[in-house]
Structure 1
């Protein structure tokens, strides 16, 4: 596994991480804790060290699951978790007292003494970012957190936060199908030395090519309610994936590997989520896919910026609130 430095830190992390959200029930269909733990263990065996969770995933279940998986293997992992959402993604809280309370609860569920990378999951529009990051910085001083991150924050907010305490990572959706951040946010974080951590780098699995019809989604899968997976958008996006597949075949890789290699080539650290060893291994191999300038141009031609059909979320609260 290739590695890289995490922005504004002394952390060396894998060039590709693992998103754990789908390992909790009520998100992407049925789950199995034992299978999920096997997947986490396999990730560590492959050198995938950056493991991404959040307190709201499964309302605590996800962090507890990761804590169980890391028994005896804590030193092999870089733990990233997040705070801000209330249970079931209801409400956003960035008040300093809540920051400290949320961190203590995450530490308890994870069963660890410190968190490597602590994110504000969404910016609270009712609390100045300086106050929230100030409280997060106190966690660093206390030794409970090593480095700080933000998620779905604007360039202006990132700059204000970074002036209070160094920000190491900005996590936001970034993929062939979600490139809105390229205009302002990417240049800003590059200037500040902040790493872009790309969640949903496969557009929630759509770009993998595994989904061919809406009925493939389980009844409990939240993707059924996302615009890109509904109505005519579904088939139109399948047609886009088929074009990506053709390029992948020429590169002797899968569509997932091609898309992940694209995010890496564009400077991001992708954290594709999966709950199965098979897909983890496929995703991890993407770090060895080398894309030439000609390859990148061809990918751009078959999947132009913003050509995807449908938005990212149906719920405005989950979309970028920080304007």
Structure 2
């Protein structure tokens, strides 16, 4: 496993992190990626730790806290060996949010209990509207105070869209941002966000690197999803486009025989400027092993990287995802 700096925080993170939305399952009626088995989820977490993954990204929303509980149960005796990033702000899966100082403080204490720790390494606002941050300075001031108290080590914002990421980095003093980036959604690369973060030494956490699983090649246009799987509500057109997208990128590589679908997708993200860590979701030990192998494969060559970018520019993978 290779490790990178998380911006200028002094925190070193594994370049392949563990996105834990999926393992939160459907506890309390939560929306995620369908039903999960806690024992298998813990086995995946343990396998990741064994293979050098030290960055675990979660949120109080995931499984309504169950994701945090699993991390706490699994790593209680290894706390100082791992980096925990959590999020605050969402109250439900309908979209209701609360970024008041009182809620942030209360939510943090609840997360600390579930995680079985007395500090969180990176505490992120969960997709706040930029206008809310501009109009209410108390939000980020609250996180700064919690950082001074030692309850969190770094402040981050998980942005809703790459364009908002530009505003966040330019206007607010944050240690890291989390943003969508993958083969079929290269907006953060195209709009200069990643270059800006690299210049400002703002950490970058890449979410959805496998595009909700569609870049693995395991799903097709007729794939069925459980009622509590977020992908069930998507249009057939969107599912079909994403399910077939990986073929376009694989076909255009100069050394396509060296990459599985997963490794190509993750290596692309790792090859982009400014990226600190990439956090694919993982549900099983086998998925962990495949994802971690991407770190050993190294960055894409210059030629292949350009081919990937050119393929993206020549195709429309989803109307709503083009800037």
TM-score of Structure 1 vs Structure 2, range by shorter chain: 0.7 to 0.9
Gaps of 5+ in 1: 313-319
Within-5 A mapping of 1:154-173: 154-162=165-173, 167-173=174-180
Between the two proteins, the alignment pairs up a number of residues equal to: 306
Within-5 A mapping of 1:187-202: 187-202=195-210
Cα displacement string for residues 130-181 of structure 1 (whole angstroms, at most 9, x for unaligned residues): 321110011111110011111114322333321xxxx221001111112222
Residue 119 of structure 1 is aligned with which of 121, 124, 134? 124
Within-5 A mapping of 1:136-155: 136-152=143-159, 153-155=164-166
Show the counterpart of 1:9.
9
How far did residue 249 of structure 1 move? 6.8
Within-5 A mapping of 1:1-323: 1-26=1-26, 27-124=32-129, 125-127=131-133, 128=135, 130-152=137-159, 153-162=164-173, 167-182=174-189, 183-226=191-234, 230-246=235-251, 247=253, 250-267=256-273, 268=275, 269-290=277-298, 291-304=300-313, 307-311=316-320
Q: Which moved more, 1:37-46 or 1:95-104?
A: 95-104
How far did residue 273 of structure 1 move? 0.5
Distance in 1, Cα, partners of 2:308 & 2:196: 25
How far did residue 303 of structure 1 move? 3.6
Q: Is the 8 A contact 2:6 2:204 kept in 1?
A: no
Show the counterpart of 1:317.
none
Cα displacement string for residues 108-150 of structure 1 (whole angstroms, at most 9, x for unaligned residues): 1111010001101122544535321110011111110011111
Q: Which moved more, 1:182-191 or 1:51-60?
A: 182-191
What secondary structure, in the 3-state scheme, does the structure 2 residue paired with 1:232 have? Answer: helix
Query: RMSD of the alignment, in Å?
Result: 2.1
Q: Is the 8 A contact 1:116 1:145 kept in 2?
A: yes
Q: Which moved more, 1:22-31 or 1:239-248?
A: 239-248
State the TM-score, normalizing by the size of structure 2. Answer: 0.88
What secondary structure, in the 3-state scheme, does the structure 2 residue paired with 1:214 have? Answer: coil
Distance in 2, Cα, partners of 1:288 & 1:72: 27
State the TM-score, normalizing by the size of structure 1. Answer: 0.88
How far did residue 185 of structure 1 move? 2.6
Distance in 1, Cα, partners of 2:217 & 2:13: 28
Structure 1's consecutive aligned runs of 4 or more residues displaced over 4 angstroms after TM superposition are none
